[in-house]
Amino acid sequence: NPETPADILKQRESLAIFSVKEKLLAKIHAHNSCIIIGETASGKTTQLPQFLHEGGFSRQGTIVVTQPRRVAAVSVATRVAQEVGTELGQLVGYTVRFQDVTSPATKIKYMTDGMLLREALGDHLLKRYSVIVLDEAHERTIHTDVLFGVVKKAQRVRLKRQLPPLKVIVMSATMNVDKFSNYFNKAPVLYLEGRQYHVEVLHSMEPQTDYLFAALVTVFQIHKREPPKSDILVFLTGQEEIEAMVHTINDIAKGMPATCPRLIVHPLYASLPSQQQLRVFQPTPDGCRKVIVSTNIAETSITIRGVKFVVDTGMVKAKTFSAISGLDLLKVQRISKAQAWQRTGRAGRQSAGSTVHYSLIRISYRLYTQQEYRNFLDDTIPEIQRCNLASIVLQLLALGVKNPASFDFMDKPSGESMKCAFTELQLLQAVEGAGEAVCLTDLGRQMASFPLDPKLAKVIMASKDLGCAEEILSVVALLSVDSILFTPQQKIEDAQAIRRKFVSSEGDHITYLNIFRAFRGLPEHDKHKWCYENYVHYRNLNTACNIRQQLRDLCLRANIPLKSCGQDMTSVRKCLTKGLFLNAAELQREGTYITLGPVKHKATFHPSSSLFGCKPAYVLYSEIVQTTRCFLRTAFVIEPEWLYETAPNYFRQSKGANR
Ligand code: ADP
Ligand code: MG
């Protein structure tokens, strides 16, 4: 049952923000910067930009709204286009990495924070925009944090030069109001009240050793007991876990008695294709129950109406800052107390349409004990204080910031992590000089033009000399998408057997390349079936193709000839070493690996790696994950001399690479 325009209008008018429209517009008129604090689902992200447009704020430029997540930018833009009744890409559009759905007619533009920052490289004053809305500010992503400083400066300079003024609006779901307000020169703060139902919170009595199993059991306990249409939202940590859980729930559901409501299970994570993302918003049909299995993306940036039960594993996958390692470690870890409350709140959001179910009890099942909860951090640490800063420092330098260490950060990153970023960029030959005299090299300037981690940008630059740009573009594109392997929990052995023909003893990067070559060689109409039969991800491979196309254009602009090295994969591995050398690992006597970067991790190959069960003396990895132990997920074999040749200053001391 698709929504009619009248339904949409009614829904819009029911949002908390609707009643304060005029008040908001007046405040924004009167001040250059404003902070808007509102509970999730009060209508900030979807409505405010429309208000601004109706209020005439788009006459002198576009209204841009940043989102930390790609999924949110796409789904919200789609919704708002539907609300204003135009095709996506016309009045309302979005721009995310490797995808631009806008036109000259676009006046309301949703964008990932990373993309706006990238745009600022070309235009420091962001002259195309009349209003910049920095949304989901409480998430404190590294890009939003840097944008705070960039837009603040653009606003000041535009004022000074008597250019059309820039309005800055910061929107956030929670607290830390004073900090935001002070940073933006005492900007006024506007509060929106959401409509929140009471949610009962239940903690586990005992600590859970297997949160996935605990989540599964909880979902079916709820399902057996509760009437249809009381939907369930489950928080897990990442794509693989989520896909596996969706699969298992569907399997178990087949065995449920006919008296149970029919289960409709939706995954929700960052790299899900837009069409599938939007399915989570479809109203639950009569006699059914919806279960959404999501990453922390459903914590604040996406609201699904009708959720009555939240199952919170208390876990999140996040990048963690490991002292001065210069490496981002993707780690499954505990959420903060603030996140726990956001998750709980998701059960209290208004339902669509009828009031029949409002009286039902709403529960947040926390799969951790009260004692465990007490040990959670109060707030999530801003990303800038726990991430590798090399990419940001490179971008700041490209933005013309002379001394990135003294940039106007809301929360300063530690001196140590700054120093580490400089060291990494020096080793990559992207910067020269030290301290306040540090500056970009020509190579560094070119690296900054790629929307990639500096390590991967360096790999692309190095392909020029090694004559393997064709292959490297593919590998880098493949590393920019989520896993291209598709391995259902129940069919692990099947999948591995069928994929064996692609597996390279040189490592995962070459295996991926083999799969990609086979995929690209197929006629278009065979691709889908082929992927299904070979247990590889059609969509992720397709995305990789698009990314490759765009990287190819950037390559040509950087004068890198598109040469192929044919079947000789040594050049490919050598070339990857030119950028990834800090991710080296050396085999130890007991069969585990020790990383050779500044911080030592002990790790083994992930079971999904092509190198699982092999023991090459040296490898480079591009992904290290920590669950119960550390795993090298994607790795390839190298010769130790390559490390020494690439970074003699760094590897001279390292005993292994010098053998
Ligand atoms: P906030 O930004 O304050 O959290 P939003 O503007 O995102 O609030 O959400 C307002 C309402 O719009 C919510 O009830 C949400 O469910 C609904 N909504 C958002 N995106 C979509 C979509 N793609 N389809 C249907 N409803 C949506
Ligand atoms: Mg929002």
User: What is the per-residue pLDDT for 359?
Assistant: 53
For residues 382-397, give the mean pLDDT: 90
For residues 446-474, give the mean pLDDT: 95
Is 351 a residue whose pLDDT tops 70? no
Banded pLDDT at 119 (limits 50, 70, 90): very high
In the chain, % of residues over pLDDT 70: 95
- With 0.95 as the threshold, say if the pTM is over it: no
Measuring CA to CA, how many Å separate 653 from each of 307, 619, 643, 648?
A: 56, 18, 12, 9
- DSSP 8-state assignment for residue 89: T
Is 175 a residue whose pLDDT tops 80? no
Sorted by sequence, the CB contacts under 8 Å of residue 602 that are 6+ apart come out as: 588, 592, 593, 594, 630
User: What is the per-residue pLDDT for 30?
Assistant: 96
Q: Indicate which ligand has the atom closest to the C-alpha of 342.
A: 1
Sorted by sequence, the CB contacts under 8 Å of residue 160 that are 6+ apart come out as: none
User: What is the per-residue pLDDT for 472?
Assistant: 97
586-600 pLDDT, tens per residue? 999 888 999 998 778
422-449 pLDDT, tens per residue? 999 999 999 998 777 889 999 999 999 9
Torsions phi, psi for 231 (to 5 deg): -85, 160
176 is written with which tokens? Answer: 């830390």
Is 338 a residue whose pLDDT tops 80? yes
Task: Note whether 116 and 66 are within 8 A (CB).
Answer: yes
For residues 595-617, give the mean pLDDT: 91
353-386 pLDDT, tens per residue? 444 444 568 999 999 999 999 999 998 888 888 8
| Whether the CB of 78 sits within 6 Å of ligand 1 | yes
Is 106 a residue whose pLDDT tops 70? yes
149 is written with which tokens? Answer: 């400083």
Task: Note whether 624 and 330 are within 8 A (CB).
Answer: yes
Q: What b/e string do you get for 86-112 counting C-beta neighbours within 10 Å, with b at 16 or more?
A: eebbbbbbbbbebbbbbeeebbbbbbb
For residues 634-648, give the mean pLDDT: 94
For residues 139-156, give the mean pLDDT: 95
Torsions phi, psi for 462 (to 5 deg): -70, -20
| Whether the CB of 106 sits within 6 Å of ligand 1 | no
CA–centroid distance, 210 to ligand 2, in Å, is: 32
| Whether the CB of 43 sits within 6 Å of ligand 1 | yes
CA distance 226 to 196: 21
Measuring CA to CA, how many Å separate 390 from each of 217, 290, 382, 487, 546?
A: 43, 42, 16, 33, 26
User: What is the per-residue pLDDT for 239?
Assistant: 87
Ligand 1 atom with the shortest distance to the CA of 302: 7
CA–centroid distance, 15 to ligand 1, in Å, is: 9
In the chain, % of residues over pLDDT 90: 70
Task: Note whether 326 and 597 are within 8 A (CB).
Answer: yes
CA distance 494 to 406: 55
CA–centroid distance, 11 to ligand 1, in Å, is: 10
User: What is the per-residue pLDDT for 627?
Assistant: 73
Task: Note whether 175 and 139 are within 8 A (CB).
Answer: no
CA–centroid distance, 303 to ligand 1, in Å, is: 6
| Whether the CB of 303 sits within 6 Å of ligand 1 | yes
For residues 330-346, give the mean pLDDT: 90
Report the relative pairing of strands 618-626 and 328-334 from DSSP bridges. Answer: parallel
CA–centroid distance, 623 to ligand 2, in Å, is: 31
User: What is the per-residue pLDDT for 1?
Assistant: 58
Sorted by sequence, the CB contacts under 8 Å of residue 263 that are 6+ apart come out as: 223, 249, 250, 253, 256, 288, 289, 291
Rounded to 5°, the CA angle 185-191-194 comes to 150
622 is written with which tokens? Answer: 């591009």
194-232 pLDDT, tens per residue? 767 889 999 999 999 999 999 999 999 999 999 998 999
| Whether the CB of 281 sits within 6 Å of ligand 1 | yes
Ligand 1 atom with the shortest distance to the CA of 16: 3
Is 324 a residue whose pLDDT tops 70? no
CA distance 493 to 475: 26
| Whether the CB of 514 sits within 6 Å of ligand 1 | no
CA–centroid distance, 351 to ligand 2, in Å, is: 17
CA distance 442 to 455: 16
Q: Length of the chain in residues, anyone?
A: 659
| Between 576 and 589, residue with greater pLDDT | 576
ipTM reported for the complex, 2 dp: 0.98
Is 658 a residue whose pLDDT tops 50? no
266 is written with which tokens? Answer: 């939706």
50-70 pLDDT, tens per residue? 999 999 999 999 999 999 988
Ligand 1 atom with the shortest distance to the CA of 135: 2
User: What is the per-residue pLDDT for 327?
Assistant: 52
User: What is the per-residue pLDDT for 328?
Assistant: 60
Instruction: For a ligand 1 pocket test, name from 66, 303, 346 the mutation site with the most ligand atoms within 8 angstroms of its C-beta.
Output: 303
Q: Indicate which ligand has the atom closest to the C-alpha of 40.
A: 1
CA–centroid distance, 15 to ligand 2, in Å, is: 12
User: What is the per-residue pLDDT for 325?
Assistant: 41
